[in-house]
Structure 1
Amino acid sequence: MKTRGGPGAGGRSGAGRPRRPVRDQARNAAFDVMRAVDERDAYANLLLPRLLRERGIKGRDAALATELAYGTLRGLGTYDAVIEMCSDRAPDPDVRDALRLGAHQLLRMRVPPHAAVGTTVDLVRLRVGPGAAKFANAVLRKIGSRTLDEWLPIVAPDPADDPVGHLSIAHGHPRWIVSAFQDALGGPDELADLLAADNARPLVTLVARPGRSSVAELEEAGADPGRYSPYAAYLREGDPGQIAAVAETRAAVQDEASQLVALALTRVPVEGDGEERWLDMCAGPGGKAGLLDAIATYGDSAGPAGEARRPAGVAASARRARLVAADVQDHRARLVWQTTRDAVVVTADGTVPAWREGVFDRVMLDAPCTGLGALRRRPEARWRRDPAGIADLGKLQRRLLGTALDAVRPGGVVAYVTCSPHLAETRVVVEDVVRRRDDVEQLDARAFLPEVDGLGVGPHAQFWPHRHGTDAMFLALLRKRR
């Protein structure tokens, strides 16, 4: 017996009428994210959650939309190479984005091939037109004729002749980023592991701001204690915004390395009595400022759960300090104001300081950078960055580090932080600034993070996704000489 589908069901709505494609909520949301990233330089991690909320997409459909959007953006370089091999002409941008979504399902997801092809063709028919759907069907069938392992020898350079080029295609990273990561690692041994970790979906990491929340409270909300930071907890599923402590800004989403570099700054001994003065120079949107503000006010006691993970020799403190948090952009300064309680928040340019020199005990400089250390969370960023822009960033980073050192008093300490492992943004910047001054010494940052192994040869500390499960955060600690 033949079953007749109703309108929108994917079957015929009547004799002789054309097939009407199903409006697949998850795939349509992923397609809209792809188009927005392509056309408007949107950020997927900001746009997709809003689309899911507005459209009421939940559960398995939300998970599918998330994997489709983020996974496809991570693998664009791989998928574009395969699409080019399977197409006799360059697809229009909207068709190309749909083909990328289909390629991700065919090559890296467990979607049955007939379903991956059929749903993608339906998407193109619905959003572009029937002619484009025929073209998409032909290309997708060619893509699905081989596995990813079978395609790579065809579309990627031979690893024996061009190992960087091969890894670039195989792991969906621009060649210049692969080369930069290899330089930062000091060789090729861990490079494939790092690139693979960059393409893995990261856990949502929460921070329980001391004196305002606790890891125990986050555990009660369904999180697991973090690996390193006494304030960290991992949320394996669910919306962090639904947790009361997060909604009330007593806790927040914050990568564990970001927590630890802030914590390291507070652990460096600084001589003096009375209330300390702290400065966060580039504080927006406020993650590190929120943690520093809580520690400044309440000390760094993390409660019983956190104390159990505090490293030997690192005691909890009950210090009193006052934090000044600044950002050059007013809207970012407002975000800092919303996430802190006791800090003084100002809109100010760190290269033209609004404060007197030599008055702060501790200065956090989370410098503007390429963000190459957070590609797990911002998958489209790898395709937007240009190596030509690193020189200008380096000039800004040097100026900001110079004013940070001017702001700290003799005996005080500056934390230079970037969410990038690129040598031109990390070691080279620090070495250049230290070499030009006779009033600065570099401390061994690893000594203030004894709970973490694998931070490199020093004196700086470098976190890695494949080693630590964190963003690739860089930390250098500099003391102003007396």
Structure 2
Amino acid sequence: MTDREKHRRDDHRHDDRRRGRDEARGGAERRGRDAKGRERSGSRGRGGPRRGWSEDRPSERSRRTTSSRQVAFEAMRAVREDDAYANLVLPGLLRRSRVAGRDAAFATELFYGTLRAQGRLDAIIGACIDRPLDQVDGDVLDVLRLGAYQLVDMSVAPHAATSETVALARQVAGAGAGSFVNAVLRRIGEDDREGWIAKVAPDRSEDEIGHLSIAHSHPAWIVRALSDALAAHGRDRSEIDALLEAQNAAPSVSLVMRPGLTDLDELIDNGASAGHLSIFAASWPSGDPGGTDPVREGRAAVQDEGSQLMALALALGADDLVRAEDHRWLDLCAGPGGKTALLAGLTLEHDAELLAVELQEHRTQLVERAVATLVEAGAEVTTRTADGRDIGGEMPGTFSRVLADVPCSGLGALRRRPESRWRRRPADIGQLGGLQRDLLASALDAAAPGGVVAYVTCSPHLAETRLIVQDVLRRRTDAEQLDARPAVRAGLLPQARDVELGEGPAVQLWPHVHGTDAMFIALLRRREQD
């Protein structure tokens, strides 16, 4: 044995004896944790086990948690530390950990649910500890969130939720953290969700926004923006509870049929069912449809029905609105290509060619993959990596139909991207506004006289939707806004044609009304020359 190995052995023995003395005196919680809930001594940092730990020891094996909870924790850590996207990080972790079936479903619900409920969970956790949350170690805080969600929002037996979460804390941060987590979760388990909301949320009669923010786990500025958007689109502000609840519900999976490449019968044979709104939609029951032949071969894809309707409003609904020679179409902000593929499929019926522009090269490649099977079927699609703001100047008066699906805050897709609500800031809206104005102006410049432009966002925020359109139209005399409602109806299934589309002329979809992401569309036409 080398000297280094002897010293390491002696250090381990010393640590074990010291921990035994502390626990015998009842001082493990006082001595074993630092201010952030981590074990002070014997920790390797970054969630590593303490020195002397071995999963081969029976006493340690009992402290290990289930793989589904471990996967949920690792996904939480990736979102927090690496700014990972929830929908991208979880599938890879499930595959690598070989978690499937009911365990995968549990991990998915736990991970996404905890992200959505994070604001409310933090308020509850904050009421149960004697320090600010920013003084709690990030790993330990994520473990607490996962445990609190199981106790407050899931039908997990309290004993199982607590014991498994404590085991997870010991696994990632040491025994001291486990004791800390155990104490906090026992306090949280003393009440249910409604009881905790009554304790930690402001009284609604005195601070409605603050109350809704905690009760529905949305930042206050988003609650206020959504309430304003409801009112501006002629809806009652009292719908805000239903809207926030819908954004906290796990969305169903929708498929889109690539025009001419598959049909509903084939998708039903592969396990799907009929869609609810879009004529090209199908519903998938649960899980990942990527293994089915239509999706694997690029003849179908996952796409929200609201997103489908935005593309169909231009590709089908604008037939009676276009007054220009209708053979050149433009997708100004094409990545990742879902709407581009719908447009491409429908160019065949119009004998048109499509130019798909995307700023980032890797997203251009996604567009090319999305349209590959349609190109093989005869669609004329050209992709180009360029700044959409330049296209109007480079190719003025060229296109009969232009889709400007502009970058936005994504507040309309919070149910799919739960981490976004905690990352976005009010300042982001203002920063995006200039880009959105420039892209819409470029789209109008690129449109031929009599051509139609669809301005689309996945956000209901007024500063990204109606105000952008109004501002751009105020600055120019060569464009007019059209009623988008008939164009949107053109993409609806017959049984959905009477669905409520608001007062016009723009259309705002809502999760609690339409069951889709909160997509917005305004149709504008370049005035014909005298």
Q: Same fold (TM over 0.5)?
A: yes
Aligned to 1:418: 457
- Change in Cα spacing, 1:22 to 1:400, as seen in structure 2 (3 Å) is same
1:329-478 matches, within 5 Å, as 329-340=360-371, 341=375, 342=379, 343-353=381-391, 355-450=394-489, 451=497, 453-478=499-524
Aligned to 2:129: 87
Rounded to whole Å, the distance in 1 between the matches of 2:130 and 2:147 is 18
1:275 touches 1:322 (CA, 8 Å); kept in 2? no
Q: For 1:57, give the aligned amino acid.
A: V
SS at the partner of 1:190? helix
Aligned to 1:3: none
**Alpha-carbon offset, residue 238 of structure 1:** 3.2
Unaligned 5+ segments in structure 1 are 1-10, 300-318
SS at the partner of 1:478? strand
TM-score (norm 2): 0.83
Q: For 2:252, give the aligned amino acid.
A: L
SS at the partner of 1:233? strand
1:72-83 matches, within 5 Å, as 72-83=114-125
1:226-375 matches, within 5 Å, as 226-266=275-315, 267-268=317-318, 269-270=320-321, 276-297=327-348, 299=349, 319-340=350-371, 341=375, 342=379, 343-353=381-391, 355-375=394-414
Whose Rg is larger?
Answer: 2
Aligned to 1:203: 252
Unaligned 5+ segments in structure 2 are 1-54, 490-496
- Change in Cα spacing, 1:19 to 1:338, as seen in structure 2 (3 Å) is closer
1:372 touches 1:422 (CA, 8 Å); kept in 2? yes
Aligned to 2:230: 185
2:322 touches 2:400 (CA, 8 Å); kept in 1? no
Aligned to 1:161: 206
Q: Deviations over 1:360-380 (max 9, x none)?
A: 000000000000000010000
Q: For 1:466, give the aligned amino acid.
A: H
1:270 touches 1:361 (CA, 8 Å); kept in 2? no
| 279-288 or 269-278, larger mean C-alpha shift | 269-278
SS at the partner of 2:63? coil
SS at the partner of 2:241? helix
Aligned to 2:89: 47
**Alpha-carbon offset, residue 275 of structure 1:** 5.8
The RMSD of aligned alpha carbons is 1.6
- Change in Cα spacing, 1:144 to 1:404, as seen in structure 2 (3 Å) is same
**Alpha-carbon offset, residue 272 of structure 1:** 6.3
- Change in Cα spacing, 1:471 to 1:162, as seen in structure 2 (3 Å) is same
Aligned to 1:117: 162
1:12 touches 1:20 (CA, 8 Å); kept in 2? no
Q: For 2:345, give the aligned amino acid.
A: A
Rounded to whole Å, the distance in 2 between the matches of 1:449 and 1:380 is 30
Among 54, 65, 74, the residue aligned to 2:107: 65
Aligned to 1:150: 195
SS at the partner of 2:389? coil
Q: For 2:153, give the aligned amino acid.
A: R
SS at the partner of 2:384? strand
**Alpha-carbon offset, residue 455 of structure 1:** 2.2
Q: Deviations over 1:389-445 (max 9, x none)?
A: 211211110000001000011111000000000000000000111111111111111
- Change in Cα spacing, 1:391 to 1:208, as seen in structure 2 (3 Å) is same
**Alpha-carbon offset, residue 50 of structure 1:** 1.1
Q: For 1:174, give the aligned amino acid.
A: P
SS at the partner of 1:189? helix
Q: For 1:368, give the aligned amino acid.
A: P
Identical amino acids, percent of aligned pairs: 55
Q: For 2:513, give the aligned amino acid.
A: R
| 194-203 or 448-457, larger mean C-alpha shift | 448-457
Rounded to whole Å, the distance in 2 between the matches of 1:93 and 1:369 is 29
2:454 touches 2:521 (CA, 8 Å); kept in 1? yes
Rounded to whole Å, the distance in 2 between the matches of 1:472 and 1:438 is 30
SS at the partner of 1:344? strand
Rounded to whole Å, the distance in 2 between the matches of 1:49 and 1:12 is 29
Rounded to whole Å, the distance in 2 between the matches of 1:108 and 1:336 is 39
Aligned to 2:12: none
TM-score (norm 1): 0.91
**Alpha-carbon offset, residue 188 of structure 1:** 2.2
Number of residue pairs the alignment of both structures matches: 450
**Alpha-carbon offset, residue 22 of structure 1:** 2.7
1:1-20 matches, within 5 Å, as 17=59, 20=62
Rounded to whole Å, the distance in 2 between the matches of 1:322 and 1:18 is 64
| 42-51 or 213-222, larger mean C-alpha shift | 213-222
Rounded to whole Å, the distance in 2 between the matches of 1:271 and 1:172 is 44
| 460-469 or 208-217, larger mean C-alpha shift | 208-217
Q: For 1:287, give the aligned amino acid.
A: G
| 42-51 or 446-455, larger mean C-alpha shift | 446-455
**Alpha-carbon offset, residue 282 of structure 1:** 0.2
Q: For 2:438, give the aligned amino acid.
A: R
2:323 touches 2:451 (CA, 8 Å); kept in 1? no
